Amino acid sequence: MIPVQGVDGHCVAVLGLGRSGLSAARALRAGGADVLCWDDNPAAREGAAEEGFDIRQFRSAEDFADVASLIVSPGIPHLYPEPNKVVAAAQEAGVPVDNDIGLFFRSLATSEWDNLDTTPRVIAVTGSNGKSTTSALIHHILREAGRAAQLAGNIGRGVLDIDPPGEGGVVVLELSSYQTDLARALTPDVAVFTNLSPDHLDRHGGLGGYFAAKRRLFAEGGPDRAIIGVDEPEGLFLAGQLAEAPGDDRVIRVSVDRKLTGPGWQVFARKGFLSEYRKGRQVASIDLRRIKGLPGAHNHQNACCAFAACRTLGLNPKAIEAAMQSFAGLPHRSQMVAEKDGVRFVNDSKATNVDAALMALLAFERIRWICGGLEKEGGLAGLKDGLGHVTKAYVIGREAAAFAVQLEGVEVEVCTTMSHAVMRAMEDAQSGETVLLAPAAASFDQYDSFERRGEDFIAEVKARL
């Protein structure tokens, strides 16, 4: 646990008692705070009370008279589409609002670090797609190379649940826009921006607000090194804002669209080969085609970002390549489930938006595509470049028929349920084809998470093999 600093004797409120909220409450108590907790879920309140936390319902600004700050869980809106009523009351009372990420960054460093030869480092990864795989891959490479590393944030453990890092330790954080948007402290040593595509637009008041939330990790934090995917205008803009000159190697540009040139530090992938260039000269190369856990251009981008992050910590390219070979990938992200009679079954349930689904479609040929769910803003036009890889689409979800009519030029079967879609895809599939779950939509019309959707796909496949 990371005890929160600067709260001894203060009264601090915690709103939302899920994983991050409870870990924040525990860390605040360990730092000497008097902690008040609230969650609209009675079971969550009961669980916190059993741990000895005081429960208080906050109805108005007057309820915050003795509160020094409010810590809010990531899923609770603080501005758009409208502030949560408790957050609004705290703001009306002038009470600062923060989250567990802000508490982490202000509490990680201690006086004990003065006795360390190599101080701990924090690598923070954000972006629309690929941040989980990138974070997990960095963590895997570091561990394989013998470095002490912990994985936390939006993946793995809550940030305040981790062990205080010791000599040369590295903390790898995956951070969502919900987390970067509100944190009052953001000071990573290395910050990674994978890419940007429209997502969570209602929560951020549009694409500009969404990008601004991501940008805070770099603008507020001032990392020693910034690794920026430059295949979208926003990433290119961000890299330009951070660099002092074309040769400023504090900014590492990453691409899977083109070869990067110039006097700076670049990492890019073309035709399955990762290349590292510094001062206009190639210094390293990796054949990514042989790495089974990283299929497709989207995973090659993840590999480039992870490679660059590990290079900033002094790892040599051969060690990074060797570690990548043993990376198995993450569940629900281009996860190979099974193979039978020449047909592969791949679970990419995490492809909850159009850009992520497009990358999955481009990673395979001759696809029996299971898609559909709770459609996000912007429609499905962005899938056009990948539809040529689709032999047939099997659409699930409550609005499957409406989803299906947007898939122009593709043979479509409306299945509604996962069970029916898997059954029909398996009946139709031929050797050399891939049955791919890449929904291009959220899961909440039928499942409570993309994980449950992916687990259902896996169960249906295995039941029929």
Nearest Cα residue to 341 out of 276, 408, 433, 273 = 433
Q: Locate 3 and state its tokens.
A: 């005890």
Calpha distance 210→105 (Å, rounded): 22
User: Mean pLDDT over residues 440-460, rounded?
Assistant: 96
129 is in an annotated binding site: yes
Pairing mode, strands 273-278 and 281-287: antiparallel
Spatial separation of the C-alpha atoms in residues 168 and 148, rounded to whole Å: 7
Residue 135 is assigned to a ligand binding site: no
Q: Are 303 and 274 in contact (CB under 8 A)?
A: yes
pLDDT at 115 over 90: yes
- Is the domain spanning 335-464 CATH 3.90.190.20? The answer is yes
What mean pLDDT, rounded, does the chain reach? 95
Report the distance separating Cα 384 and Cα 391, nearest Å: 14
CATH number, span 11-98? 3.40.50.720
Q: Specify the pLDDT at position 386.
A: 96
| Residue ranges, CATH 3.40.50.720, the chain | 11-98
Average pLDDT over residues 101-116: 96
Name the helix (H) or strand (E) containing 207. Answer: helix 207-219
- Confirm or deny that 353 is annotated as ligand binding: no
Q: How confident is the model at residue 106 (pLDDT cuts 50, 70, 90)?
A: very high
With a cut of 90, say whether residue 4 has pLDDT above it.
Answer: yes
Among 44-48, 289-293, 405-409, where is mean pLDDT lowest?
289-293
Question: pLDDT confidence of 290, banded at 50, 70, 90?
Answer: confident
> What is the band of 330 on the pLDDT scale with cuts at 50, 70, 90?
confident
Out of 26-30, 368-372, 373-377, least confident range: 373-377
* Average pLDDT, integer, range 89-94: 97
Stretch 292-304: mean pLDDT: 90
Q: What pLDDT is stored for residue 212 in this prediction?
A: 96
User: What span, in angstroms and rounded, lies between the C-alpha atoms of 157 and 23?
Assistant: 9
Predicted local confidence at residue 296, as pLDDT: 84
73 marked ligand binding residue? no
Fold of the domain spanning 111-325:
UDP-N-acetylmuramoyl-L-alanine:D-glutamate ligase (3.40.1190)
State the Cα–Cα distance between residues 159 and 268, nearest whole angstrom: 30
Residues of the chain within CATH 3.90.190.20 domain(s) are 335-464
DSSP 8-state secondary structure symbol assigned to residue 336:
E
**What is the reported pLDDT for 329?**
83
pTM: 0.86
**Is 133 part of any known ligand binding site?**
yes
Does a cis peptide bond (omega within 30 degrees of 0) precede residue 77?
A: no
The owner of tokens 């079954």 is 345
* Average pLDDT over every residue of 39-44: 95
pLDDT digits (tens, 9 = 90+) for 136-184: 999 999 999 999 999 999 887 899 999 999 999 999 999 999 999 999 9
349 among annotated binding-site residues: no
Phi and psi for 396 in degrees, rounded to 5? -115, 175
> pLDDT-derived band of residue 297, with 50, 70 and 90 as boundaries?
confident
pLDDT band with cut points at 50, 70 and 90 for residue 379: confident
Tell whether 20 is in a known binding site: no
| Structure confidence by residue, pLDDT tens digits, 210-235 | 999 999 999 987 899 999 999 999 99
Position with higher pLDDT, 378 vs 241: 241
The DSSP call for residue 192 is E
Res 328: pLDDT: 83
Provide long-range contacts, Cβ within 8 A and 24+ apart, for 412-417. 415/370, 417/446
Question: In the structure, what pLDDT confidence band is assigned to residue 279 with cuts at 50, 70 and 90?
Answer: very high
